[in-house]
Every structure is written in C-alpha cells, then in structure tokens.
Amino acid sequence: MRSPILDYLDAIVEQTGHIDSGAPADYIPELAAADPNRVAVALCTVNGTVYAVGDADHEFSIQSMSKPFAYALAIEDHGLDYVLERVGVEPSGEAFNELSLDPETGRPRNPMINAGAIATHALVRRDERPAVERILALFSDLAQRPVEIDEGLAASELATGDRNLGIAYLLHASRRLAGEPSASVEGYIRQCSANVTVRDLALMASTLANGGVQPNTGRRLFSRRTTRQVLSVMASCGMYDAAGDWFTSVGIPAKSGVAGGIIGVLPGQVGVAVFSPRLDGHGNSARGVAMMERLSEDMGLHLM
C-alpha cells in the first residue's frame, strides 16, 4: 500500500505547480540549460526512512548545499576554535557571491557565502587524496551511494569562475586563504559540481537532524557539537540575504544551491530536500521555498 506521506508530497508538488517565477542560473552555462519544469521533494526521518516524489531520481549539482558538509569536515579536521579564527559565523546580509569580509579581522563573514566556502574548502585536510576527494567520500557516506562529480559542469563553471578567483586572490592577499587561490577555487567548484538527487539530499539532511549519525548505516560522520555548529550557521546564514524571511516563514536550518535545491533540517526529527531550478532574486529556488513553506506549515516544522 502506498504511504499517505507520498500522497501528501505529491499534493505539495501539485499545489505549487503554478509557481513559474524566476529562471535557472545563467552565470554557469551548464545550469542555464536545465529543464526549468523539473521538480522533486523528499524527506528522510531520523530512523532512515526516505519518502520521495516527482523527479526524485534526477541528478543535479549540489552547489552551495555542499558548504555545510565541507564546513563540518574542516571543524572535524582542526577543531572549532581554529576554524572560527579563519571564517566567521555572522550573516552577511549580502548576496552569496559578494566578498563580505569582517572589517576588523578580514576573515570571510561566514562559511555559507562563496568567500567563506572557498576559505573553508582550503581548510579541509588533504591526506593522500585532494580535499575534494575527501568531501566527495563524505557525500557518498551520507547518501549511501557513490556520489560523483559532473565534470562537464565543473569545467563549465571553472571557465566562467573569474568572480570566485577574484575573491580567492583577495583572501590570499589578506592571508585569509590556507591554499593557493586557483587550486582552492578549482577544488571548491568541483565540490559544488557533485551530482545528487533529492533522495541523497534528504539522507544528508537527516544525518544532520540525527546529530551527525547517518540514520541507516549508524556511522557517526561528525560529532554532535560539530553538527550543532553547522545547523546554527545554516539557520542564520544558509539562505543568504533571504535568511530573515526564510526563518520567519519556514523556521528551520537550511541551505540552498544555485542548481535549484534546498535542504532543511528539523533537529531530532527529519531532513527535507526540494528541487526546482527556477531561482528567485536571492539565488534560492522560488518553487522550492514555496514547497518548504507548505511543508513547514502542514508538518509543524517551524522551530518557534
């Protein structure tokens, strides 16, 4: 018998079908070619049960939804204090691709904007593998399947990545980048180019909801303290200069991605993921935000 939760998620997709505002990102050529009508929703409970509807098996790039997980790895590698000295936790109030440096310390405002994410990527330890391979291995552990990089997309973004390169060189000039600028940007862009589905993302989000323990494998992928830090920064910075609107209307820690995904986490309960490529003015999925608002209202996700 089909779960009534799947019927409910179908209804969420149906009831937001009229939302066709915005357009796929066009500053990354490969993203501009995305089918704007694709849509998917998934949720995963902290006991590991996944419910997914729509284009649930469609792969798209994780983009900025990768940033919370790279941040977790950097904290696990160096400890929170070390990372905090190098990347702040304050919302920037600006778009994700603004430089946004703390005027007193020169460090990037937070790890969710590009400047902070590039600096964070450069902090992730390279063992015998490049940092991006460790990040990819973490994605695979979280998703319970091999997650791979869309090499064509990565090449597409690298070819048009001047803004991120400029940010990286400015960080490096102020001794706020723990790596060589072009290598750090290449690793960061490859991190963003990992292909995921909403099923994968719901499992990733449910691991955060589950205190850092992957709900099906039982593997602790990050500490409870690291998870608390990541969720706190997602709550205040994850939706960029729409963070205030988001937290008042949806009310859960979240992170968006420029390919049209959003993940949300209700700690101790559930991880949620939505996908629709058309973006609003903040670089967040317009229909994705609407679907999350409905989910929050109907399922009582709001933390307040």
Which residues are documented as binding site?
Answer: 64, 114, 157, 164, 188, 240, 258
Of the CA atoms within 13 Å of residue 15, those in its CB half-sphere come to: 13
| Number of residues that make up the chain | 304
Does residue 257 interact with ligand DON by CB under 6 A? yes
Give the residues across from 60 on adjacent strands: 196
Which one among 43, 192, 196, 230 touches ligand DON, defined by CB under 6 A? 192
Does residue 181 interact with ligand DON by CB under 6 A? no
Under rule CB under 6 A, which residues in 131-170 are in contact with ligand DON? Answer: 157, 164
Q: Which helix (H) or strand (E) holds 156?
A: helix 151-159
Closest CA to 227 of 274, 268, 187: 268
Q: How far is the CB of 159 from ligand DON (least distance, A)?
A: 13
* Binding region for ligand DON (CB under 6 A) out of 125-133, 221-229, 245-253, 254-262: 254-262
* Binding region for ligand DON (CB under 6 A) out of 45-53, 100-108, 122-130, 255-263: 255-263
Q: How far is the CB of 135 from ligand DON (least distance, A)?
A: 13
Nearer to ligand DON, 212 or 280 (CB): 280
The site for ligand DON, by CB under 6 A, has a size of 14
Which one among 91, 211, 283, 288 touches ligand DON, defined by CB under 6 A? 283
Q: How far is the CB of 287 from ligand DON (least distance, A)?
A: 14
Q: How far is the CB of 169 from ligand DON (least distance, A)?
A: 15
Q: Which parts are annotated binding residues for substrate?
A: 64, 114, 157, 164, 188, 240, 258
Phi first, then psi: give them for residue 150, nearest 5 degrees: -80, 95
CA distance 27 to 301: 33
Q: How far is the CB of 212 from ligand DON (least distance, A)?
A: 23
Nearest 5°: the CA angle 118, 234, 301 is 155
Residue whose beta carbon is closest to ligand DON? 64
* Binding region for ligand DON (CB under 6 A) out of 101-109, 200-208, 251-259, 292-300: 251-259
String marking each residue 82-121 x if it binds ligand DON according to CB under 6 A: --------------xx----------------x-------
The tokens of 156 are what? 């597409």
Closest CA to 262 of 40, 27, 37, 4: 40
Closest CA to 132 of 204, 192, 80, 54: 192
Nearer to ligand DON, 76 or 157 (CB): 157
Closest CA to 229 of 65, 75, 45: 75
Which one among 40, 208, 254, 258 touches ligand DON, defined by CB under 6 A? 258
The tokens of 4 are what? 């009534």
Strand order in the sheet with 270-275: 50-54, 40-45, 270-275, 261-266, 254-256
Q: How far is CA 217 from CA 65, 190, 220, 221, in A?
A: 22, 26, 9, 10
Q: Sign of the CA dihedral 17, 202, 294, 231?
A: negative
CA distance 207 to 102: 31
Which positions touch ligand DON (CB under 6 A)?
A: 63-64, 96-97, 114, 157, 164, 189, 192, 256-258, 283-284
